Amino acid sequence: MTGTMNDAIEQALADEMRRDERVIFVGEGVATKRAAIAREFGAERVRNTPLAEGIIAGTAAGAAATGLRPVIDLLFAPFLCYAMDEIVNSAGKLRYISGGQFSFPMVVLAGTGSGWGVGAQHNHNIEAWFAHSPGLKVVMPSTPADARGLLKAAIRDDNPVLFFADLALLYVPGAPDDADIALGQAAIRRPGRDVTLVSYAKTVGACLEAADQLAADGISAEVIDLRTIKPLDEETILASVDRTGRAIVVHEASRMCGVGAEVAAIIAEQAFESLRAPVLRLTGPDAPAPASFVLEQAFAPGAARIADAARTLCQSSRAPTRDLADA
Amino acid sequence: MTGTMNDAIEQALADEMRRDERVIFVGEGVATKRAAIAREFGAERVRNTPLAEGIIAGTAAGAAATGLRPVIDLLFAPFLCYAMDEIVNSAGKLRYISGGQFSFPMVVLAGTGSGWGVGAQHNHNIEAWFAHSPGLKVVMPSTPADARGLLKAAIRDDNPVLFFADLALLYVPGAPDDADIALGQAAIRRPGRDVTLVSYAKTVGACLEAADQLAADGISAEVIDLRTIKPLDEETILASVDRTGRAIVVHEASRMCGVGAEVAAIIAEQAFESLRAPVLRLTGPDAPAPASFVLEQAFAPGAARIADAARTLCQSSRAPTRDLADA
Amino acid sequence: MTPELKRLALERMMLIRAHEQAAVALQQSGQAPGTCTSVGQEASAVGVVWALTPHDEILTNHRSAGHLLARGADPRRIMAEIMGRADGYCGGKSGSLHISVKDLGVLLTSTIVGGELGLVTGVALSRKMQRRPGVVACFFGDGAACEGRFHESVNLAAVWNLPILYVCENNEWQAFVHRRETMLTERIGDRAAAYGIDGASVDGNDVAAVHDAARAAIARIAETGKPFLLETVTYRLRGHYEPDDQAYVDPAELSHWLARDPIHTLRARLEADGHLSTADFEAMNTRVARAIDDAIEFARNSPAPSLSQLTTDVYA
Amino acid sequence: MTPELKRLALERMMLIRAHEQAAVALQQSGQAPGTCTSVGQEASAVGVVWALTPHDEILTNHRSAGHLLARGADPRRIMAEIMGRADGYCGGKSGSLHISVKDLGVLLTSTIVGGELGLVTGVALSRKMQRRPGVVACFFGDGAACEGRFHESVNLAAVWNLPILYVCENNEWQAFVHRRETMLTERIGDRAAAYGIDGASVDGNDVAAVHDAARAAIARIAETGKPFLLETVTYRLRGHYEPDDQAYVDPAELSHWLARDPIHTLRARLEADGHLSTADFEAMNTRVARAIDDAIEFARNSPAPSLSQLTTDVYA
Ligand SMILES: Cc1ncc(C[n+]2csc(CCOP(=O)(O)OP(=O)(O)O)c2C)c(N)n1
Ligand SMILES: Cc1ncc(C[n+]2csc(CCOP(=O)(O)OP(=O)(O)O)c2C)c(N)n1
Ligand SMILES: [Mg+2]
Ligand SMILES: [Mg+2]
């Protein structure tokens, strides 16, 4: 069975709404755009809203704390800027502030990333903001199957989960098969010996392409797809770098205080003895997203840049400390 | 002349409002709480507002783009969650989106950090969010003099600057002498040979305390106060680590995708050859800020934790790669 | 309200006042951080909360002591929370600014102004979808009415027919800004019309009037299935947050309202109507004083939370 | 409006329509990304914008082509921007959704719904503090009126006496949600009362009526020093964003409004009044067609922005 990530999201929603009548789906136009879901589950559980992201997110938090399990679609990541208080200060903190009296089983859906030419007020990769904030979980899949499994896991989770869909991947055909995927587990998309490429969302594809090019040069690259950004699967990352001794973190989001900074810092702290070379980051620039096609296509790091960086890294490397120690 | 960081902020405001009549000061109660400023500059330039952070920030952005230089006081960092759209999507992006037609000379003031026992909806260190976002600058001083110099530089800057005041430092007496301080320049608070402690705001004091303790053990710690978080003074950090070969990044904000992650990643990428030990991060926990005094005091890393980490680091170190290379 | 109920209301209002005065004293003697007291607003709290059934729910904000005590919260656990102790309603993690008591239906208390407005629609939606009768009362200030979330919340509740009693406690101040600096209209209750729902404004210092208005509003919600916007016109007799000398407050305005102190006026009315003897009042005073002394004693003896609590209750 | 001015308005409305149809065709043939067209709303744009002086300023949103062209923006540079070319008004960085033209006083165009409402108060504050006469017109939709920022913006403008002409273009739709799903009241202009300012609602498909209402509103702003809330009641004749088959739209509603197409009705009225001959109309058609052909030609020949542009214009 084939389908896109968009289909997978709809399937996961339908699966969970069938399984658990507490799950509701709310947002600007969700009942119109997901007509099949609206038909099956009805107007009480599938709700269009006025145009007001803040109250959509606040309604979800209030409903989550009192027995429902809302999934809200805020459409595009920059629109979350209108809902930061409800997501961060309410859903993320009121469990703690109240001494554990409440929990917030809710999911926030949003699209982001280059691919649609819609510009910086529709496209801004801000997943790192939520990883930095307490009480929240963050998911950003790269395949339809992961989208389906991770969205189901997110809906079943008792914490607020931010689910970001990469716009460039949303309508790419794939196989949204129905496997359970726990939050917090990275996937090794391609095993390798010489260098670890850590990524998520659209740049996973660029890493796999780069790995093909590198293979031609006799460099064996391992590609890790984080899938879940928070909680972060540190074990998988560290185990890989312990084997390869080299790491490059790749994502579309901008560099400073991004997910790549976190991954690089974890490696520098916990895999230091295994490192044979500097930990590199390849990211989008410190700039808003341009609308113009040519500029937008140049925003996220591509396979060529990744392969070049990996080659340089593999040339300029030394033996890991643990071996040097015996030297 | 002595004064607190709060005095320094008021002095910097008065200095700049005297120098440039385009500077205005706007916020909930600013005219009431800064009565001297209100008296000197009048009701047109010093404005109380209705209780609505979003429109305060939006008004600042709109005014900045059309000839004024607003300074807005949003009181406490978590309240910025109501103004994220205006700060990030408007002030941070509309220069780029418009192809350079507008600029946004504005300053956003907010307090944060443990010290007042006001809990997680008044205290949340989110400076990393803005460092991650394009078009913005971020300042977080640790002394009255830096607060004064950096706020003046922020007001004169043609870009939106977020100015965070650490609540624990706001009323500590000091010397707010009137030195010009450019944005983007870290300060070496204490020179040292063996380990670099990189920090900002309240934890700079903890690092200096730790450095004293370490000196007693014959460990010479260099303490760097970032002062400006974006643009980040990479040169000063890297030059120091090239000398010491060891780095610990310390801040109150939570760990994941924080400023410490960025600093550690930069070191792991650009000072790798000089490193003699893993790059460590000591940060606040992945938790909201508690109100209870004892819990709040335990939130940010203290001198003892820092000194312990530095000791361990200095014991378990090896020669830097550049020497090993000749080995 | 019957004379008997009014007497009970007077005593509860005295309890709230005594609690706030104790919190002030603790702050002044350095034993507790500052708080936002509800001194002067006791009638609004008791009048509305006593119009609710035990199954109704309440959302409140930074100025919550009146609502909590009116609802029957334990003064000892409130005081322990204010002092950041382990026996506080939130284990000391909240402090005074966002005390929730789920067991009493006081939910999701937030100190973000407008926070309660953003959350109440979801609480009411759960109630409606779970077919639970009754209402959710949402207390917020005249300042919160300036936040965009007020507009979004009332509009969504109106469109979705959510059973919400919006209670705007208009105390003329928004921290250090007078309400008149923030809006051109006088009556916040009138804004209901913009959302196609009913609203009313009532003398917030007259507990019986507030109680009647709240009961009428709740009846109207049952009738229409729509939210109701009730404004209680009252006044913040102390500063915004302790300590606050209120140097910025017009003395004439303050004395005007001091003369309309809801406790003094209620007591005077009850006495004039022969429903309250000096002995009754003294007895109330004694009971209230004892309750607050117990609360302080309890809070002082409550341990500080253990450091392990720093990172608990973050994730479910 | 004089017959002469009406004829000019008709031609400008035809230009807007032709521009939008060209943008649709380019999207359909894969030569441009989708756009939010203003088909059906041309009278609202021309009627309001032509009531402004060259010194007045305009803030608009994602559905801006009508406002831009009414103001006199160059169709060639708009088309180039839509196609992401170097000669676009924003060098291709904006695309169709947030085109600003500072030289024409079209400022800070945002596609965040409510963005213009959040920014206009600051633009008007600058104007006021710089003692520049005139007004700032702020175009937003019925959906934006549901955002909290609407409430915050109008309230602040009222309290601060800012010279803002708020123009709510109520086209009955908010992307894929009908306006009636989002509010209980019919007339957004009536909300002015909640803020203590004046407001009005006008037939947004009658360019002369819109023009008169806008001029009256601007006069009123000069008189009172306060903002004014003008609602233009119109309809979105095409989908929200190309491509959009509008399968979700009630055909009866659509045909009701198709019969009230602002261009057809204006043309018919002018012809009936003997102010427009077939020859006049054909001449207009020809000029409009040529202008749009030039625009497409210009945009096609405009180069893509150089890659160095990826990181320019981020910091001042
Ligand atoms: C979003 C936000 N902005 C500002 C504050 C700081 N603050 C706390 S209470 C308050 C005044 C609130 O006024 P009002 O809503 O009238 O309630 P009152 O305090 O008068 O009861 C302010 C400005 C806050 N807590 N949250
Ligand atoms: C904050 C935000 N939410 C959602 C969107 C997506 N969106 C773009 S236009 C639109 C509909 C806007 O409706 P209205 O304000 O009535 O303007 P119209 O499109 O009808 O002209 C929506 C939902 C957005 N751009 N910004
Ligand atoms: Mg108030
Ligand atoms: Mg509309």
3-state secondary structure of C18: helix
Can you point out the beta strands (E) in C155-216?
164-170, 173-174, 177-178, 198-203
Give phi and psi for B257, each to the nearest 5. 60, 30
pLDDT in tens, C173-194: 999 999 999 999 999 999 999 9
How do residues B3-30 score in pLDDT, each as one tens digit? 999 999 999 999 999 999 999 999 999 9
Is C147 close to D146, i.e. CB distance below 8 A?
no
| Å from CA of B28 to ligand 1 middle | 9
User: Residue A1: what pLDDT?
Assistant: 64
Are D31 and D302 in contact by the 8 Å Cβ rule? The answer is no
Residue C46: phi and psi, rounded to 5, are -70, -40
Q: What is the pLDDT of residues A255-285, one digit of tens each?
A: 999 999 999 999 999 999 999 999 999 999 9
Task: Tell me: pLDDT of B177 over 90.
Answer: no
DSSP state of C62: S
Q: pLDDT tens digits for A162-221?
A: 999 999 999 999 987 889 999 999 999 999 999 999 999 999 999 999 999 999 999 999
Binary contact (D118, B58; C-beta < 8 A): yes
Q: Which of B10, B122, B251, B296 is catalytic?
A: B122
Secondary structure (3-state) at B58 = helix
Query: What's chain A's Rg over C-alpha atoms?
Result: 20
Dig out the tokens for A308 from the structure. 């070049």
Check residue B327 and give its pLDDT.
46
| Alpha carbons B230 and A42: distance in angstroms, whole number | 49
Q: Whose CA is nearest to atom 25 of ligand 1?
A: C112
pLDDT score recorded for residue A177: 85
Average pLDDT for chain B = 97
pLDDT in tens, B276-321: 999 999 999 999 999 999 999 999 999 999 999 999 999 987 888 7
Active-site annotation of A, residues: 53, 122
B326 or D276, higher pLDDT: D276
**What pLDDT is stored for residue A327 in this prediction?**
47
Q: How far apart are the first and last CA of chain D?
A: 44
What residues flank ligand 2, with Cβ below 6 Å? A 28, 51, 53, 75, 79, 82; D 36, 62-63, 111-114, 141-144, 171, 173-175, 236
DSSP string covering A147-212? HHHHHHHHHHSSS-EEEEEEGGGTT--B--------TT--EEEE--SSEEEEE-THHHHHHHHHHH
Taking residues D86-110, what's their average pLDDT?
A: 98
Q: Quick one: which atom of ligand 1 is closest to the CA of B121?
A: 25
Chains that touch B (3 or more CB pairs under 8 A): A, C, D
pLDDT of A322 above 70: yes
CB distance B246 to B309 below 8 Å: no
Q: Which amino acid is at A237?
A: I
- Spatial distance between the Cα atoms of D146 and D174, rounded to a whole number of angstroms: 10
Local confidence band at D174 (pLDDT 50, 70, 90 cut-offs): very high
- Name chain D's partners: 3 or more CB pairs within 8 A: A, B, C
A85, A96, A280 ranked by CB distance to B81: nearest:
A85
Mean pLDDT across D155-166? 98
The whole-model pTM stands at 0.98
pLDDT confidence of residue A323: 73
Is D28 strand, coil or helix?
A: helix
The tens digit of pLDDT for each residue in B39-71 reads 999 999 999 999 999 999 999 999 999 999 999
pLDDT tens-digit series, residues B264-273:
999 999 999 9
pLDDT tens, residue by residue, C103-153: 999 999 999 999 999 999 999 999 999 999 999 999 999 999 999 999 999
pLDDT of residue A176: 78
Q: What is the pLDDT of residue B276?
A: 97
* Partner D contacted by A287 (CB < 8 A): yes
Instruction: Show which of residues 77-96 on chain A sit within 8 Å of chain B, judged by CB atoms.
Output: 78, 81-82, 84-85, 88-89, 92-93, 96
Q: Give the pLDDT score at C44.
A: 98
User: Is the confidence at residue B122, as pLDDT, over 90?
Assistant: yes
Inter-CA distances, B280 with A21, A175, B59, Å: 47, 42, 42
Per-residue pLDDT of chain C (316 residues; tens, 9 = 90+): 999 999 999 999 999 999 999 999 999 999 999 999 999 999 999 999 999 999 999 999 999 999 999 999 999 999 999 999 999 999 999 999 999 999 999 999 999 999 999 999 999 999 999 999 999 999 999 999 999 999 999 999 999 999 999 999 999 999 999 999 999 999 999 999 999 999 999 999 999 999 999 999 999 999 999 999 999 999 999 999 999 999 999 999 999 999 999 999 999 999 999 999 999 999 999 999 999 999 999 999 999 999 999 999 999 9
Q: How far is the CA of C171 from the centre of ligand 3 (A)?
A: 5
Q: Is B141 on the interface with D (CB under 8 A)?
A: no
pLDDT at B326 (0 to 100): 53
Q: What pLDDT digit, counting tens, does each position of B208-236 carry?
A: 999 999 999 999 999 999 999 999 999 99
The yes-or-no verdict on residue B1 having pLDDT over 80 is no
pLDDT, tens digit, 9 for 90 and up, residues A43-72? 999 999 999 999 999 999 999 999 999 999
In chain D, the largest separation of any two C-alpha atoms, in whole Å, equals 56
Interface test with C, best of A56, A72, A93, A97 (most C CBs within 10 A): A97
Q: What is the pLDDT of residue A321?
A: 75
User: Closest approach of chain A CAs to the CA of C246, in angstroms?
Assistant: 29
**What is the Cα–Cα distance from D69 to D50, expressed in whole angstroms?**
11
- Residues comprising chain D, all counted: 316
Contact in structure between C77 and A98 (CB atoms under 8 Å): no
Give the model's pLDDT for residue B322.
73
Q: What's the CA gap between D152 and B186, in Å, rounded? A: 39
Question: Any bridge partners for residue C140, and if so which?
Answer: C168
Q: What angle do CA D5, D11, D13 make, to 5 degrees?
A: 100
Letter for the amino acid at D220? R
Q: Which of B93, B104, B127, B257 to mutate to test the interface with A (most CBs of A within 10 A)?
A: B257
How would residue B176 be classed by pLDDT, with cut points 50, 70 and 90? confident
Residue D175, phi-psi category: left (phi > 0), alpha (psi -120 to 50), beta (remainder): left
**Collapsing DSSP states into helix, strand and coil, what is residue A14?**
helix
* d(C-alpha D292, C-alpha D298), whole Å: 10
Contact call for C183 and D150, based on CB within 8 A: no
pLDDT of B325 higher than 90: no
Give the per-residue pLDDT at A178: 86
Q: What percent of chain A has pLDDT over 70?
A: 98
What gap in Å lies between CA B263 and CA B226, rounded to an integer?
10
Residue B137 has pLDDT above 60, yes or no: yes
Of A32, A33, A285, the CB nearest to D310: A285
